[in-house]
Amino acid sequence: MRKISLAVVAIMFTGVSAFAASDAALIKKVTDAGIKPIPQSKLEVLKLVDNPKNPITDCKVELGKKLYFEPRLSKSGLISCNTCHNLAMGGVDGVDAAIGHKWTANPHHLNSPTVYNSVLNQAQFWDGRDPHLEAQAQGPIQAGPEMAAPKDLVVARVTSMPAYIDEFKKVYGDDVKVTFELITETIAVFERTLITPSRFDAFLNGNMSALTDKEKEGLNLFVDKGCASCHNDIGLGGTMQPFQVAAKYKFASLGDFKGDKNGMVKTPTLRNIEETAPYFHNGGIWSLSDAVKEMGSVQLGIKISDAEASKITTFLKSLTGKKPEITYPILPVSTDKTPKPDMK
pLDDT at position 19 is: 58
Residue count of the chain, please give it. Answer: 344
Cα 255 to Cα 109: distance, rounded to the nearest angstrom: 5
Contacts 24+ apart (CB under 8 A), 135-143: 136/188, 137/81, 137/184, 137/185, 137/187, 137/188, 137/191, 138/180, 138/181, 138/184, 140/81, 140/84, 141/73, 141/74, 141/184, 143/100
pLDDT at position 20 is: 72
Range scoring the smallest mean pLDDT among 89-98, 124-133, 311-320: 124-133
**Is 59 assigned to a binding site?**
no
Helix/strand number for the chain, H first, E second:
13, 4
Does the domain made of 34-41+196-319 have the CATH classification 3.40.50.300? no
194 Cα distance to chain centroid: 8
What residues have CB less than 8 Å from 38, skipping those under 6 apart?
45, 48, 195, 197, 198, 201, 234, 321
CA 89, 200, 283, 129: dihedral to nearest 10 degrees? 100
Question: What does the pLDDT look like over 58-110, one tens digit per residue?
Answer: 999 999 999 999 999 999 999 999 999 999 999 999 999 999 999 999 999 99
**Is 81 assigned to a binding site?**
yes
pLDDT at 322 over 90: yes
Cα 189 to Cα 341: distance, rounded to the nearest angstrom: 27
**Is 227 assigned to a binding site?**
yes
Q: Topology of 45-192 in CATH?
A: Cytochrome Bc1 Complex; Chain D, domain 2 (1.10.760)
**Is 281 assigned to a binding site?**
no
Question: What does the pLDDT look like over 187-198, one tens digit per residue?
Answer: 999 999 999 999
204 three-state secondary structure: helix
pTM of the model as a whole: 0.92
**Is 231 assigned to a binding site?**
yes
Fold agreement (34-41+196-319, 45-192): yes
Cα 8 to Cα 6: distance, rounded to the nearest angstrom: 5
Domain ranges of the chain: 34-41+196-319, 45-192
Active-site amino acid positions: 146
Question: What does the pLDDT look like over 218-275, one tens digit per residue?
Answer: 999 999 999 999 999 999 999 999 999 999 999 999 999 999 999 999 999 999 999 9
The H or E element containing residue 99 is: strand 99-100
Read off φ and ψ for residue 275, nearest 5 degrees. Answer: -100, -5
Mean pLDDT, the chain, whole residue set? 93
Question: What does the pLDDT look like over 279-300, one tens digit per residue?
Answer: 999 999 999 999 999 999 999 9
DSSP string of 288-322, one letter each residue? HHHHHHHHIIIII--PPPHHHHHHHHHHHGGG--P
**Is 12 assigned to a binding site?**
no
- 3 or 19: which leads in pLDDT: 19
